[in-house]
Amino acid sequence: MSTYSKEHIDYLKKQKKEKRIVFFFRLLIIVVFLIAWELLSRFELINTFLSSSPSEVIETTIQLLKDQTLFTHIGITLYEVIVSFLVATIIGFIVATILWSNKIIAKIIDPYITILNSLPKVALGPLIIIWVGASMNSIIFMALLISTFVTILTIYQGFARTNKSYITLLKSLGATKCQIFTKAVLPSNVPTLISALKINISMSLIGVIMGELLVSKSGLGYLIMYGSQVFNINLVITGVVILGIISYIMYIIIDSLENYIKKRRGSA
């Protein structure tokens, strides 16, 4: 190990201190929030029937764990999210590649993709139920409608914005269209692909929950919907909290994938 100058050691110390401050306040916010929530409900300053409390949420979670339904619900929601995420990624990538390789096709279908992307997909909920049936398929279909178009658009816009001089250079070296794609368009768009994955995973989750709220017999969306129908606010909030945790974990997974790729490409 090399020895650092005092200035550099001070710099590292300062960085470490900053990191600790950020971590501490992050933790503080959630702890203060939970304690305040708990105290307010203990002293009956807020109505626990309407707003639940942290201890009741934990109780409900334990209850759900005991009758072994919690993991079934989480598993089903995750399964639907992953299927939708994978299918949307594959479709998005293939369609974006076709659009990139053929400008005429891109021009022709551009307005359709834009309309389908900006259309509020919940509006199609009733139609989907009629067409696909009240099953898991319609939930995945709903999620796909929400995630696919934005994935196509994100990836295609990245492809289309590939540095022109990279393409001119490859052309001057005699590259074919396929080589231009594999040597420049794809590798220069790795950051775009990662951000497309990020958008896609959260859109898939939104789509699945939306689908589960409309039709389902299981899953976290169902849990929340069921809870609200029987006016069990504990159940609703437990569902929301678990969803929050799941989406945070998914974010961390994609984020570390991004860091791993950045490191491997030496640009971190």
Partner 1 sequence: MNKVLTISNLEKSFHTRDGEIKALESVSFDVKEKEFISIVGPSGCGKSTILSILAGLEEKSNGEINFSKDYTIGYMLQNDSLFEWRTVLDNCLLGLEINKKLTKENKEYVIHLLKTYGLEDFMEEYPARLSGGMRQRVALIRTLATKPDILLLDEAMSALDYQSRLAISDDIFRIIKREGKTAIMVTHDIAEAISMSDRIVVLSKRPAIVKKIYDIKLSNKSTPIHNRKCKEFSEFYDAIWRDLDVHIQ
Contacts with partner 1 by CB under 8 A lie at: 163, 165-166, 168-175, 179, 183-184, 187-188, 190, 265-267
Name the phi and psi angles at 44, rounded to 5: 55, 35
The full length of the chain comes to: 268
The rounded distance, in Å, linking the Cα atoms of 83 and 106 is 27
User: CA-CA distance, 131 to 164, in Å (whole number)?
Assistant: 44
Q: Which is nearer to partner 1, 111 or 266 (CB)?
A: 266
**Shortest spacing between CB 176 and partner 1, in angstroms:** 8
Which CB sits closer to partner 1, 167 or 206? Answer: 167
Q: Whose Cβ is closer to partner 1: residue 69's or residue 168's? A: 168
CB of 168 to partner 1, least distance (A): 6
CB 193 within 8 A of CB 258: no
SS3 120: coil
Q: Looking at beta carbons only, is 120 or 174 nearer to partner 1?
A: 174
Q: How far is the CB of 151 from partner 1 (least distance, A)?
A: 22
| Residue with smaller CB distance to partner 1, 158 or 219 | 158
Burial status of residue 260 (CB atoms within 10 A of its CB: 0-12, 13-18, 19 or more): exposed
- What is the number of H-type helices and E-type strands within the chain? 13, 0
Shortest reach from residue 106's CB to partner 1, in Å: 18
Q: CA-based Rg of the chain, rounded to a whole angstrom? A: 24
Q: 139 with 80: CB under 8 angstroms?
A: yes
CB of 200 to partner 1, least distance (A): 22
Residue 227 near residue 239, CB atoms below 8 Å: yes
Cα separation, 174 vs 206, whole angstroms: 45
Nearer to partner 1 by C-beta: 115 or 173?
Answer: 173
In whole angstroms, the minimum distance from the beta carbon of 267 to partner 1 comes to 6
